[in-house]
Structure 1
């Protein structure tokens, strides 16, 4: 938004301007960022149906222009999924979604200790961008048997009535009161009232705890309820009245790895069962799926499509999906935990685009870290040193000596871009690999790339507490109150800064002082504005010095790399402990520098490589799909 200069604008160095030898000390400060179901067509009123990267560096490690940023700039403004995550405020989890009368409705769990989970809120949106909260659409006062742990609502419309299926009481045996209930309302925003006066499913069938229900109506009108905890998944037919079931139809359909969070949707005649694996507070929570020709399965596992992302968020799971009516655009809604959160209930709602391969399989979902402020808010941003507001679709600080706002991210190798509008004084730009959030000016650390209208300069430097070190700078004609596209590619110790999508960087530096940290925006004594912020890992396979994708990260494109070529790209011998592998790629790691010795093959992200392979990489072959 608000980009006023043509793409590829070159610096007008011939213009006479006073050149200043340096910018004022560019002091950073701290960081923090936080940010289901399928739509069915049972009612004519339900009109719904159920990145910006730089080119990876070559063997010499120098890289090329951030070509991916050009195509990203052509994406429609204010489109779904571009205004940042979380998309609503508050602690929530387990979302499900439906479209009613052209409006998207998300129903999540209120994420809190079980005894506080006594109600359900909902959120509605006409466009998947602007959201309205509807408080307590279901409350335990309207469900005589529910006392706590009201979980995982699943909505549907039928019989001129809105139904909401939910779990309550977290029962641990058949002797306890609770299980799966159903409530109804004349309005999608409630209030929903218990339809039975008792649970719909109150017993353990086939070993499945009666929780995490998902309602699905097939094209022939038959309704199914998918549900189950404790590692078992059942499906049961629901009668046309939507408040009773065919008790003879219970069938266990547990796919490999299933833990909880069943979700069914249909696309192009195929049935997709999704579920969550791992522990909801652990390091391995993730979303997997299966495909079948029948709503009853069988459901052999097809793959995992959503995993935790150490750069953006953890605990990603219990999802739903939605198809934008009249398109083949799909989005996955899920919950995740902001980095650094240790309270298991501190979960937020997020969504990202979900894409399919030509054979109907689902591509792995990339968690996004971006914000174009089209929704009018700055959820997930933490300001420091000044008050920040969203004005006319841009993020704007008070003019202060050191105004910063950060996203709670932890990128090492990254591509980071934004439209930066500097004021007439001071400078403005992007900060990255920032650490020690909240510790104050004398303790925080990180890099900064900025532009200044007063001195006509682009500068790259680093802060170490109160000490500022300039790494590189270049002259460029910078006008005040004009938006400039600023992009950073940080790949290992190689840092490049691009202005207005130029094919070559305007400044570069080699520095490995800081290996990972948060991203953010900064204005030094400038009436600046920021827009179209987007951070992501570069394309290609990314190799990390430490386990868990920690330490310095270096991205390599497809190709064969001898030890000398790895060294040229910034990767020392016997150095790699974890890696990220793009979908469909294969990475072959060799013990010796000439593709000999023991070979280890990796076809997926690996947070800790096997012990015998750790710190053993001396050459590598990277094979793209």
Structure 2
């Protein structure tokens, strides 16, 4: 299989509908499964619960649903990390780590669906006995990133755990299972975590090894365990591989460690880890889902990438991580909707949210009864960052039209408004190609400009008397190179530009908190 990467420098006029741009979303430790004709993404909901995002495409997370909320207090009330959705023997299970707020107390739990609906309800089981002794509880020991797989008709769990209480030394462990919610025997250490220098946090002697995020990839009778290694908070994060070459998964000698990383950073995409694997809609391609860091500092600010991979002589070949902002062909069999004018979206209660894709930190999005809120600052933010949060109508390819919305400013006085003729949306302040018309209550002005995927260029600006304590009606008419902007039904600005001829529409904010009830295009 050969895929063509079309880089952004060649696409100033906008990408075609058969391409998309990475990263596709904010997030860490991404998990997605293909179930029927849907993709179901599993993410931590602000470290306080578990959310499933349902989409008909691999390149968009779709609509969020919080399926489990942690209690206010207790051993699994905080630090809800890296939930992993799996479909086992006709039921859905979510394996997740949680604590009481102290990392040293992290243990692994399972959420079991009470029926066949992936959106729940779910019943909590655990914690798993991931410690020492025959009972696994003498004592029970720190565990995260549990993943369950079958081999020879038997169930096994793999996870990342400490060798002893309080050590902060992470290794990969395996144990047999009685059922998808209970281990059947003591844990077994799979492999050393510092066999090679590239497995150490700073890739040099004197720094510790670290292994986490195990994922199973099976292909043509071979079983591979892909794991994350080095430092998740640094650009050194990467993927290593163990292959099951023996018959007994519980025997460490049955696993062979690959001598080199199978996926690592470039100068543009770094801190790559927690890989997951899923097939394209038509089953013809394999796709790699992973996260990468937003900057090179020591932090956990990350976003989600998807890209195809192949097998060479039966061995996975993940290639190099695609650069942010570059266009890539959509997964085989993936089709965008083709919305026709007029379009009228009701965003109250998230009613028509499924027609849009969200690009921004998940903690800055609220699907409220009165409308969709962008830029909603979380009460207790976790690894948050601002990106000019935006919603883009999927599949829109409009030329001449009038787009309108009502803006209710809740907090802040920066820009909020409409995206026009937009293509190639991604996560980032100016990570889209197209036009933006926004109201800025702080300076009592309306601004009109364009972005090329990286930079913003203002085209025109006008003063306007706006009262942010009341809803503000904004509309833009685009006809050829002519644009007319109206506030409250009154024309306040006209401008000309011929950079972008067609594209979709959307909603966007810049460092402010706004509620949108509707989005109309005619």
State yes or no: 1:87 paired with 2:20.
Answer: no
Q: CA-to-partner distance for each residue in 1:185-230, whole Å, 9 max, x for gaps?
A: 12211232213xx411352689974111111123x33111111143
Write the mapping of 1:412-423 to structure 2, written as runs, cut at 5 A.
Answer: none
TM-score, structure 2 normalization: 0.55
Over 3 Å counting, the alpha-carbon distance change for 1:391 and 1:349 in structure 2 is closer
SS of residue in 1 equivalent to 2:175: strand
Cα deviation digits, residues 554-608 of structure 1 (max 9, x gap): xxxxxxxxxxxxxxxxxxxxxxxxxxxxxxxxxxxxxxxxxxxxxxxxxxxxxxx
SS at the partner of 1:94?
Answer: coil
CA distance in 1, matches of 2:265, 2:100: 26
Is 2:149 aligned against 1:216?
yes
What is the Cα deviation at residue 276 of structure 1? 1.1
Structure-1 separation of matches of 2:51 and 2:62: 11
Cα RMSD (Å): 4.9
- The whole-number CA distance in structure 1 between the counterparts of 2:36 and 2:421 is 41
Is contact 1:208–1:233 with CA below 8 Å preserved after alignment?
no
* Residue equivalent to 2:175: 236
Is 1:146–2:63 an aligned residue pair?
A: no
Question: Is 1:267 aligned with 2:219?
Answer: yes
Q: How far apart, CA to CA, are the structure 1 residues paired with 2:35 and 2:421?
A: 40
Structure 2: distance between partners of 1:392 and 1:140: 36
Tell me what 1:52 maps to: 5
Which of 284, 294, 315 does residue 271 from structure 2 map onto?
A: 315
Distance in 1 between the 2:105 and 2:69 partners?
A: 17
Alignment match, 2:185: 247
Larger Rg: 1
Counterpart for residue 359 of structure 2: 379
The whole-number CA distance in structure 1 between the counterparts of 2:394 and 2:42 is 29
Per-residue deviation, 1:531: 6.3
Contact 2:270–2:292, Cα closer than 8 Å, also in 1:
yes
- 1:408–1:139 CA distance, 2 compared to 1 (3 A): closer
1:453-472 → structure 2 map (5 Å cutoff)? none
Count of residue pairs the alignment pairs up: 352
The 5 Å alignment of 1:440-451 reads: none
User: Per residue, is there more strand in 1 or in 2?
Assistant: 2
Q: Which runs of 5+ in 2 are unaligned?
A: 162-168, 200-209, 331-335, 337-354, 361-385, 404-419, 436-448, 460-479, 482-494, 505-522
* Pairs within 5 Å for 1:128-527: 128-141=58-71, 145-169=75-99, 178-185=106-113, 186=115, 187-195=117-125, 198-203=126-131, 209-218=142-151, 220-229=152-161, 230-239=169-178, 241-248=179-186, 250-254=188-192, 256=195, 257=199, 258-294=210-246, 295-296=249-250, 297-311=254-268, 313-324=269-280, 327-339=283-295, 344-368=299-323, 369-370=325-326, 374=336, 377=357, 379=359, 390=393, 392-394=395-397, 525-526=497-498
Counterpart residue number, 2:476: none
Separation of aligned partners in 2, 1:407 and 1:155: 25
The alpha-carbon deviation at position 307 of structure 1 amounts to 2.6
2: CA distance, partners of 1:163 / 1:194: 10
Distance in 2 (CA, whole Å) between partners of 1:203 and 1:171 is: 20
Paired position in structure 2 for 1:105: 40
Contact 2:62 2:356 in 1 (8 A): no
- Is the contact between residue 140 and residue 147 of structure 1 (CA under 8 Å) also seen in structure 2? yes
Q: 1:214-251, CA deviations, whole angstroms, 9 ceiling, x for partnerless residues?
A: 11123x33111111143310111112x32221214634
Q: Deviations over 1:332-390 (max 9, x none)?
A: 112223348x6834322221112222342424243253459948547379789xx9965
Q: Residues 217 and 159 (structure 1 numbering): CA distance in 2 closer, same or farther, change over 3 Å?
A: same
Residues 440-467 of structure 1, C-alpha deviation per residue, up to 9 Å, x if partnerless?
89xxxxxxxxxxxxxxxxxxxxxxxxxx
Q: Distance in 1 between matches of 2:73 and 2:58?
A: 31
Q: 1:101 to 1:172 in 2, by over 3 A?
A: same
Report the TM-score, using the length of structure 1 for normalisation: 0.47
CA distance in 2, matches of 1:378, 1:119: 20
Give distance in 2, aligned partners of 1:378 and 1:293: 42
Give the unaligned 5+ runs of structure 1.
1-50, 55-65, 410-416, 421-427, 442-479, 482-522, 533-625
CA–CA separation in structure 2 for the residues paired with 1:136 and 1:429? 35
Contact 1:181 1:201 in 2 (8 A): no
Q: For 1:193 and 1:151, how far apart are their aligned partners in 2?
A: 18
> Aligned partners of 1:105 and 1:433: how far apart in 2?
30
* 8 Å contact from structure 1 (residues 305, 365) kept in 2: no
Give the distance between the partners of 2:402 and 2:391, measured in 1 at CA: 6
Distance 1:287 1:177, change over 3 A: closer
Q: 1:324 to 1:306 in 2, by over 3 A?
A: same
Whole-angstrom CA distance in 1 between matches of 2:292 and 2:71: 29
